[in-house]
Amino acid sequence: MSPRIKMKLLKLPCIMLITALCIFMLAACGAPKESPIAAEQALPAKPPAVPLLLISIDGVRYDYLDKANLPAFDRLIKGGLRADSLQQIFPTKTFATHYSMVTGLHPDRSGVVANSMWDPDRQTRFFMGNRDTVGDGYWYEGEPIWNTVEKAGKTAATYFWPGSEAAIGGIRPTIWMPYDGDATHDERIAQVLAWLDMPLDKRPDFLTLYFSVVDSAGHDYGPDHPEVASAMQEVDRALGLLVKGLEQRDLLNNMHILITSDHGMQDIATDRYILLDEYIDLSAVRVSDWGPAAQIWSTEGGLSADEIVASLKNAHPKMRVWKKADVPARYHFSEHKRVPDVVAEADLGWMISSTPFYQRMESGPAGGMHGWDPAWQNMHGIFIAHGPAFAPGIKTPALRGIDLYTLMAELMQIEAVDTDGSLDAFSPILYSPVVAAIRTSNWLCDTAELVLREGAGSASVQYGERVFSLPLQVSASGVRYEDTDMLFWSKGNTAQVTIDSVELNNCLQIQSSI
Ligand SMILES: [Zn+2]
């Protein structure tokens, strides 16, 4: 056992739970007999910290797991936790969501507001494909989990993750890799296994893996194309190699594996484009990001924010426009200097572009895209967790990417910094022998039907094609799930519901099932 791995006391209320936990750990994880010191001392103790592998499979929509026969995914799901989905932050763009997962911060606090950003202080742009900007710590704020790991005297090794190539606050992972899309999946798996083979005093405590093929297939062909299922099968093959390698090392049940994706995917079409230059003189503004949402800046001698909003407000029925201060509160996208003066967001499946760009596009099927409101179910990704903290077979409603930083700090037994997330959705589940399940109920309000999916520490509310993940809040009466501008507070068969700041009235439960 590494000398850096320490036992920590756990403030659990019930000795019986601990006893049950130890029995569970022995039975489910095949742990060696000497490991649960707690069993001998009857002290409430957490198992020793084990390595944590964070995997991102870019662009895996919540329902892709059902698209093909995926034996390696299935094995990890059976042995651990599967969430209905993973809700990310706005905008649902690769750099913003990946960096949000590892910092627990919305873009207002992380500074990563898109894949393509404008910085008004430096008067420069950030491009996802530009090595100089990607590797410049200036663009990343907050504390990524690998910095928390390093500060705790542990070791981080990243095989790709947005932000991992930069010194953030002067700190980098001990081992990091410059992004190389040509690195084969086999090479990536072999390297992670080689890191886990290092002597215990050097072995990384935190590792990452990243795969991009599913995202590429979704963009090129659209989410429902067979190429997407093929890409999922290729990632499953690579995961199979990983699982086999971990089994050979007796690590599969003795480390934590978290599988995430950064966003879902929505099909787009050439007849669902909004061309901004039909409504505004593009030479009088700066647009730092295009697509599902456009990030628009006023310029000196050009249009003011008020003038931009006035031109675009009722320009197109499929586009909403806000001044920075008026962006919906649940987007947390109103404060950072890199949040633009004006945000325009298209309806799901619609794109904001310009005539010159549109004319250069090839005709035919336009493929897939992401970047819209994170609540659209099609923007939700996946979340699977496996390892000693997760009883086999746990099911949860949609979880939030913003909570993963805190979860990872808890799993690695290091002190988390303050974030926008919390452990609320996970704390009733971790190291619990009780297998969490989901209770589903249907609700009818004056103007809407809702589906509530309740887990041990959180719930999701489905409202049309949108699904909101809400943490459980302690409440003196009734069961209360709450997040910014969102509330589901049930008392018996009635509920008080607010969605997007709008109160729904007379909500009654009409059906429920386990
Ligand atoms: Zn992505």
Inform me whether the pLDDT recorded for 63 exceeds 60: yes
Which positions are catalytic?
Answer: 94
- Mean pLDDT computed over 163-192: 97
464's CB contacts (< 8 A; 6+ apart) are 448
CATH for 439-513 is 2.40.128.200
pLDDT at 221: 96
Q: Where are the beta strands (DSSP E) in 6-76?
A: 52-57
Cα-to-centroid distance, 485 and ligand 1 (Å): 26
pLDDT at 40: 40
**Measured between alpha carbons, how far is 489 from 301 in angstroms, rounded to an integer?**
50
Cα-to-centroid distance, 42 and ligand 1 (Å): 46
- Mean pLDDT computed over 417-444: 94
Least confident of 21-30, 276-285, 378-387, 504-513: 21-30
336's CB contacts (< 8 A; 6+ apart) are 107, 108, 109, 111, 113
CATH 2.40.128.200 domain locations along the chain: 439-513
β-pairing, 266-267 vs 394-396, is unpaired
For residues 125 and 118, the answer to whether their CB atoms sit within 8 Å is: yes
Cα-to-centroid distance, 474 and ligand 1 (Å): 34
- Mean pLDDT computed over 394-420: 98
Cα-to-centroid distance, 374 and ligand 1 (Å): 13
Cα-to-centroid distance, 49 and ligand 1 (Å): 30
Inform me whether the pLDDT recorded for 25 exceeds 60: no
CATH 3.30.1360.180 domain locations along the chain: 268-368
pLDDT at 6: 33
Cα-to-centroid distance, 125 and ligand 1 (Å): 20
Mean pLDDT of the chain: 90
- Mean pLDDT computed over 388-407: 97
Measured over the CA atoms of residue 174, residue 179, residue 184 and residue 189, the dihedral's sign is: positive
Residue of higher predicted confidence among 28 and 307: 307
Q: What is the pLDDT of residues 340-351, one digit of tens each?
A: 999 999 999 999
Cα-to-centroid distance, 311 and ligand 1 (Å): 31
Cα-to-centroid distance, 93 and ligand 1 (Å): 6
What fold does the segment set 268-368 form as a domain?
Answer: Gyrase A; domain 2 (3.30.1360)
Inform me whether the pLDDT recorded for 32 exceeds 50: no
pLDDT at 310: 98
Inform me whether the pLDDT recorded for 190 exceeds 50: yes
Cα-to-centroid distance, 263 and ligand 1 (Å): 6
Least confident of 38-47, 149-158, 304-313: 38-47
For residues 87 and 398, the answer to whether their CB atoms sit within 8 Å is: yes
Listed residue (88, 5, 508) closest to 333, CA to CA: 88
Cα-to-centroid distance, 115 and ligand 1 (Å): 9
For residues 348 and 291, the answer to whether their CB atoms sit within 8 Å is: no
Structure tokens at 454: 């309740």
Distances (CA, A) of 148 to 6, 55, 95, 417, 426: 16, 18, 20, 8, 20
CATH 3.40.720.10 domain locations along the chain: 52-105+142-266+376-411
For residues 63 and 286, the answer to whether their CB atoms sit within 8 Å is: no
By CB atoms closer than 10 A (0-12, 13-18, 19+), residue 300 is exposed
In this prediction the pTM is 0.90
Of all residues in the chain, the percent with pLDDT exceeding 70 is: 90
In sequence order, which ranges of 222-315 are alpha helices (DSSP H)? 226-248, 305-312
**Measured between alpha carbons, how far is 198 from 258 in angstroms, rounded to an integer?**
21
- If DSSP codes are grouped into helix, strand and coil, which group holds residue 511? strand
Inform me whether the pLDDT recorded for 58 exceeds 90: yes
pLDDT at 19: 36
Listed residue (85, 105, 101) closest to 375, CA to CA: 85
Cα-to-centroid distance, 59 and ligand 1 (Å): 5
Residues forming a β-bridge with 67: none
- Mean pLDDT computed over 92-112: 98
386's CB contacts (< 8 A; 6+ apart) are 76, 79, 80, 81, 252, 256, 257, 258, 259
Of all residues in the chain, the percent with pLDDT exceeding 90 is: 84
Inform me whether the pLDDT recorded for 499 exceeds 90: yes
User: What architecture (CATH level 2) is domain 52-105+142-266+376-411?
Assistant: 3-Layer(aba) Sandwich (3.40)
Cα-to-centroid distance, 165 and ligand 1 (Å): 17
Inform me whether the pLDDT recorded for 202 exceeds 60: yes
Calculate the dihedral angle through the C-alpha atoms of 45, 75, 255, 162, rounding to the nearest 10 degrees.
Answer: -120
Listed residue (176, 242, 245) closest to 208, CA to CA: 176
Cα-to-centroid distance, 56 and ligand 1 (Å): 9
pLDDT at 474: 80
Cα-to-centroid distance, 381 and ligand 1 (Å): 10
Structure tokens at 207: 């590792």
